[in-house]
Structure 1
Amino acid sequence: MKRLLASGVLVLLSCTLTFAQCAMCRASVESTYSDGHYLNGSGLNTGILYLLVMPYLIVALIAYFWYRSSRKEYAQKMALWQRMKGISQ
Protein backbone atom coordinates (compact mmCIF):
# COMPACT_ATOMS: atom_id res chain seq x y z
CA MET A 1 0.00 0.00 0.00
CA LYS A 2 2.86 2.36 0.80
CA ARG A 3 4.39 1.66 -2.60
CA LEU A 4 1.11 2.56 -4.33
CA LEU A 5 0.79 5.76 -2.31
CA ALA A 6 4.39 6.73 -3.07
CA SER A 7 3.81 6.09 -6.78
CA GLY A 8 0.67 8.22 -6.74
CA VAL A 9 2.45 11.11 -5.03
CA LEU A 10 5.30 10.87 -7.53
CA VAL A 11 2.87 11.00 -10.46
CA LEU A 12 1.07 14.01 -9.01
CA LEU A 13 4.33 15.87 -8.48
CA SER A 14 5.48 15.20 -12.03
CA CYS A 15 2.22 16.45 -13.56
CA THR A 16 3.21 20.09 -13.13
CA LEU A 17 6.02 19.57 -15.63
CA THR A 18 3.61 18.27 -18.26
CA PHE A 19 1.33 21.29 -17.89
CA ALA A 20 4.28 23.57 -18.71
CA GLN A 21 4.92 21.74 -21.97
CA CYS A 22 1.56 22.64 -23.51
CA ALA A 23 2.50 26.32 -23.80
CA MET A 24 5.75 25.33 -25.49
CA CYS A 25 3.91 23.10 -27.95
CA ARG A 26 1.45 25.85 -28.75
CA ALA A 27 4.24 28.36 -29.39
CA SER A 28 5.97 25.86 -31.66
CA VAL A 29 2.80 25.23 -33.63
CA GLU A 30 2.13 28.94 -34.04
CA SER A 31 5.66 29.57 -35.29
CA THR A 32 5.53 26.71 -37.81
CA TYR A 33 2.13 27.82 -39.10
CA SER A 34 3.40 31.35 -39.62
CA ASP A 35 6.38 29.99 -41.61
CA GLY A 36 4.10 27.90 -43.81
CA HIS A 37 5.26 24.47 -42.55
CA TYR A 38 2.07 22.63 -41.60
CA LEU A 39 3.46 19.12 -41.12
CA ASN A 40 5.21 19.86 -37.85
CA GLY A 41 2.15 21.52 -36.37
CA SER A 42 -0.21 18.67 -37.15
CA GLY A 43 2.08 16.20 -35.38
CA LEU A 44 2.20 18.38 -32.29
CA ASN A 45 -1.57 18.77 -32.31
CA THR A 46 -1.94 14.99 -32.44
CA GLY A 47 0.42 14.69 -29.48
CA ILE A 48 -1.60 17.22 -27.51
CA LEU A 49 -4.82 15.30 -28.23
CA TYR A 50 -3.11 12.07 -27.15
CA LEU A 51 -2.11 13.67 -23.85
CA LEU A 52 -5.66 14.99 -23.44
CA VAL A 53 -7.30 11.57 -23.85
CA MET A 54 -5.09 9.60 -21.45
CA PRO A 55 -6.51 10.88 -18.11
CA TYR A 56 -10.07 10.24 -19.28
CA LEU A 57 -9.14 6.75 -20.43
CA ILE A 58 -7.55 5.95 -17.07
CA VAL A 59 -10.62 7.18 -15.16
CA ALA A 60 -12.90 5.17 -17.46
CA LEU A 61 -10.87 2.00 -16.89
CA ILE A 62 -10.92 2.47 -13.12
CA ALA A 63 -14.70 3.02 -13.21
CA TYR A 64 -15.19 -0.09 -15.35
CA PHE A 65 -13.16 -2.33 -13.05
CA TRP A 66 -14.88 -0.87 -9.99
CA TYR A 67 -18.29 -1.53 -11.55
CA ARG A 68 -17.33 -5.09 -12.50
CA SER A 69 -16.01 -5.77 -9.00
CA SER A 70 -19.15 -4.41 -7.33
CA ARG A 71 -21.38 -6.53 -9.60
CA LYS A 72 -19.48 -9.69 -8.63
CA GLU A 73 -19.73 -8.80 -4.95
CA TYR A 74 -23.46 -8.12 -5.30
CA ALA A 75 -23.98 -11.47 -7.05
CA GLN A 76 -22.14 -13.27 -4.24
CA LYS A 77 -24.27 -11.54 -1.62
CA MET A 78 -27.46 -12.46 -3.47
CA ALA A 79 -26.36 -16.10 -3.76
CA LEU A 80 -25.63 -16.21 -0.03
CA TRP A 81 -29.00 -14.61 0.71
CA GLN A 82 -30.78 -17.20 -1.46
CA ARG A 83 -28.99 -20.04 0.34
CA MET A 84 -29.88 -18.59 3.74
CA LYS A 85 -33.49 -18.13 2.62
CA GLY A 86 -33.62 -21.78 1.51
CA ILE A 87 -32.21 -23.02 4.83
CA SER A 88 -34.68 -21.02 6.94
CA GLN A 89 -37.74 -22.42 5.11
Structure 2
Amino acid sequence: MLIKEQRTKSKGQRRFTLCVYFLFSIFFSFQSYSQCAMCRASLESTGDTGQAEAVNDGIVYLMVIPYILAGLIGFAVYKMYQKKKDTK
Protein backbone atom coordinates (compact mmCIF):
# COMPACT_ATOMS: atom_id res chain seq x y z
CA MET A 1 0.00 0.00 0.00
CA LEU A 2 1.20 3.47 -0.81
CA ILE A 3 1.18 6.08 1.87
CA LYS A 4 -0.81 9.23 1.20
CA GLU A 5 2.21 11.34 0.25
CA GLN A 6 3.32 8.85 -2.39
CA ARG A 7 -0.16 8.67 -3.88
CA THR A 8 -0.39 12.44 -4.23
CA LYS A 9 3.05 12.59 -5.84
CA SER A 10 2.14 10.01 -8.45
CA LYS A 11 -1.16 11.79 -9.13
CA GLY A 12 0.71 15.07 -9.53
CA GLN A 13 3.20 13.44 -11.86
CA ARG A 14 0.38 12.05 -13.99
CA ARG A 15 -1.21 15.48 -14.24
CA PHE A 16 2.13 17.01 -15.21
CA THR A 17 2.65 14.35 -17.88
CA LEU A 18 -0.84 14.95 -19.29
CA CYS A 19 -0.26 18.71 -19.36
CA VAL A 20 3.07 18.31 -21.16
CA TYR A 21 1.49 15.93 -23.68
CA PHE A 22 -1.44 18.31 -24.26
CA LEU A 23 0.81 21.33 -24.77
CA PHE A 24 3.14 19.35 -27.03
CA SER A 25 0.23 18.21 -29.21
CA ILE A 26 -1.07 21.77 -29.53
CA PHE A 27 2.19 23.57 -30.30
CA PHE A 28 3.77 20.91 -32.50
CA SER A 29 0.91 20.05 -34.81
CA PHE A 30 1.36 19.60 -38.51
CA GLN A 31 -0.81 20.56 -41.42
CA SER A 32 -2.47 17.73 -43.28
CA TYR A 33 -4.58 17.61 -46.38
CA SER A 34 -7.69 15.44 -46.20
CA GLN A 35 -9.11 14.43 -49.50
CA CYS A 36 -10.31 11.18 -50.99
CA ALA A 37 -8.72 9.88 -54.18
CA MET A 38 -11.79 10.56 -56.35
CA CYS A 39 -12.14 14.14 -55.12
CA ARG A 40 -8.45 14.76 -55.68
CA ALA A 41 -8.56 13.34 -59.22
CA SER A 42 -11.61 15.36 -60.24
CA LEU A 43 -10.24 18.59 -58.78
CA GLU A 44 -6.76 18.16 -60.23
CA SER A 45 -8.18 17.53 -63.70
CA THR A 46 -9.86 20.95 -63.72
CA GLY A 47 -6.65 22.77 -62.74
CA ASP A 48 -8.43 25.10 -60.30
CA THR A 49 -6.30 25.08 -57.13
CA GLY A 50 -8.64 27.47 -55.32
CA GLN A 51 -11.50 25.02 -55.56
CA ALA A 52 -9.27 22.17 -54.37
CA GLU A 53 -8.20 24.19 -51.32
CA ALA A 54 -11.84 25.02 -50.57
CA VAL A 55 -12.76 21.32 -50.67
CA ASN A 56 -9.83 20.52 -48.34
CA ASP A 57 -10.94 23.21 -45.88
CA GLY A 58 -14.51 21.89 -45.94
CA ILE A 59 -13.37 18.34 -45.24
CA VAL A 60 -11.23 19.47 -42.30
CA TYR A 61 -14.11 21.57 -40.95
CA LEU A 62 -16.49 18.60 -41.11
CA MET A 63 -13.89 16.35 -39.48
CA VAL A 64 -13.21 18.66 -36.50
CA ILE A 65 -16.80 19.10 -35.28
CA PRO A 66 -17.34 15.49 -34.06
CA TYR A 67 -14.01 15.53 -32.22
CA ILE A 68 -14.91 18.75 -30.43
CA LEU A 69 -18.31 17.36 -29.44
CA ALA A 70 -16.78 14.10 -28.20
CA GLY A 71 -14.22 16.08 -26.19
CA LEU A 72 -16.92 18.22 -24.58
CA ILE A 73 -18.98 15.16 -23.67
CA GLY A 74 -15.89 13.45 -22.24
CA PHE A 75 -15.07 16.54 -20.19
CA ALA A 76 -18.65 16.71 -18.85
CA VAL A 77 -18.52 13.04 -17.83
CA TYR A 78 -15.13 13.57 -16.18
CA LYS A 79 -16.50 16.53 -14.19
CA MET A 80 -19.52 14.49 -13.08
CA TYR A 81 -17.27 11.69 -11.81
CA GLN A 82 -15.03 14.18 -10.02
CA LYS A 83 -18.04 15.83 -8.40
CA LYS A 84 -19.39 12.42 -7.33
CA LYS A 85 -15.95 11.44 -6.00
CA ASP A 86 -15.64 14.67 -3.98
CA THR A 87 -19.03 14.20 -2.30
CA LYS A 88 -18.04 10.79 -0.89
* TM-score, scaled to structure 1: 0.50
Which structure 1 residue ranges, 5 or more long, are not aligned? 1-21, 78-89
Count of aligned residue pairs for this structure pair: 54
CA distance in 1, matches of 2:39, 2:78: 42
Amino acid at match of 1:48: I
RMSD after superposition: 2.0
* Structure 1 counterpart of 2:53, from 27, 42, 55: 42
Checking the alignment, whether the CA contact within 8 Å between 1:29 and 1:40 is kept in structure 2 is no
Q: Percent identity?
A: 30
Larger Rg: 1
Amino acid at match of 1:46: D
Amino acid at match of 2:48: H
* TM-score, scaled to structure 2: 0.51
Which consecutive aligned stretches of 4+ in structure 1 deviate over 6 angstroms post-superposition? none
Amino acid at match of 1:38: T
Amino acid at match of 1:44: V
Which structure 2 residue ranges, 5 or more long, are not aligned? 1-34
